[in-house]
């Protein structure tokens, strides 16, 4: 995985791991975002890449990305990488690595079980756990629309997406490696701090 793809995953606070890693093809641009905010994230990625190539023996360096910048970056990537299934991912960041997300999934035109609606709004609340260069979500609540669901339903959507893209499926509760150079992620209200 290249660094920009990896930082998208970390930048999305792991939620994207479960979706954008498996959901790539075509969509119509439908996202509203700030291009200058998305560019700030690209600049942060470039800075991390450059600085991690140099020897460093001091304390971990950090870079702060606001919730708005992160959401603009995610929307930009969804649009420009022509995501077929995930049409939207919006994050809310809170203290102590608590996150909430809204994900809009469009499965129209895909071969999916009939009990799955072709368009879904998925909401979840989770705690982000980071350890030993990996991250995972400890899910607290998951809803499709206003109906609570269990994680296995989300895993089913991931499996469908993986099958469509001929990739190996995983689980929403798996551990995932952080992008190169990232050592830790901490969230505060409205911002994420990446340590490298």
Q: What is the structure's pLDDT at 187? A: 96
Residue 120 CA to residue 110 CA, distance in Å, equals 13
* Domain residue ranges in the chain: 3-195
**Which tens digit of pLDDT belongs to each residue from 79-133?**
998 887 889 999 999 999 999 999 998 888 887 778 778 898 999 999 999 999 8
pLDDT under 50: residue ranges of the chain = 1-31
Query: Which residue spans within the chain are E strands per DSSP?
Result: 62-66, 86-94, 98-106, 119-131, 134-144, 147-148, 176-177, 184-188, 191-195
Cβ atoms of 134 and 175 closer than 8 Å: yes
Q: What is the structure's pLDDT at 114? A: 80
Cβ atoms of 85 and 108 closer than 8 Å: no
């Amino acid at each position: 995985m290249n660094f920009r793809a990896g930082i998208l995953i970390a930048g999305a606070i792991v939620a994207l791991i479960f979706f954008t890693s498996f959901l790539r093809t075509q969509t119509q641009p439908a996202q509203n975002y700030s291009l200058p905010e998305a560019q700030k994230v690209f600049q942060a990625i470039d800075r991390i890449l450059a600085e991690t190539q140099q020897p460093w023996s001091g304390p971990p360096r950090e870079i702060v990305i606001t919730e708005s910048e992160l959401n603009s970056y995610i929307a930009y990537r969804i649009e420009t990488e022509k995501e077929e299934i995930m049409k939207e991912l919006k994050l809310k960041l809170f203290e102590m690595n608590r996150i909430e997300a809204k994900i809009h999934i469009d499965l129209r035109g895909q071969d999916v079980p009939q009990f799955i609606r072709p368009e879904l709004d998925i909401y979840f609340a989770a705690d982000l756990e980071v350890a030993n260069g990996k991250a995972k979500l400890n899910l607290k609540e998951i809803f499709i629309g206003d109906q609570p669901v269990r994680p296995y339903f989300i895993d089913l959507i991931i499996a469908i997406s993986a099958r469509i893209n001929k990739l190996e499926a995983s689980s929403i509760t798996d551990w995932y490696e952080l992008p190169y150079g990232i050592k830790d992620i901490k969230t505060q209200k409205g911002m994420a701090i990446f340590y490298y």
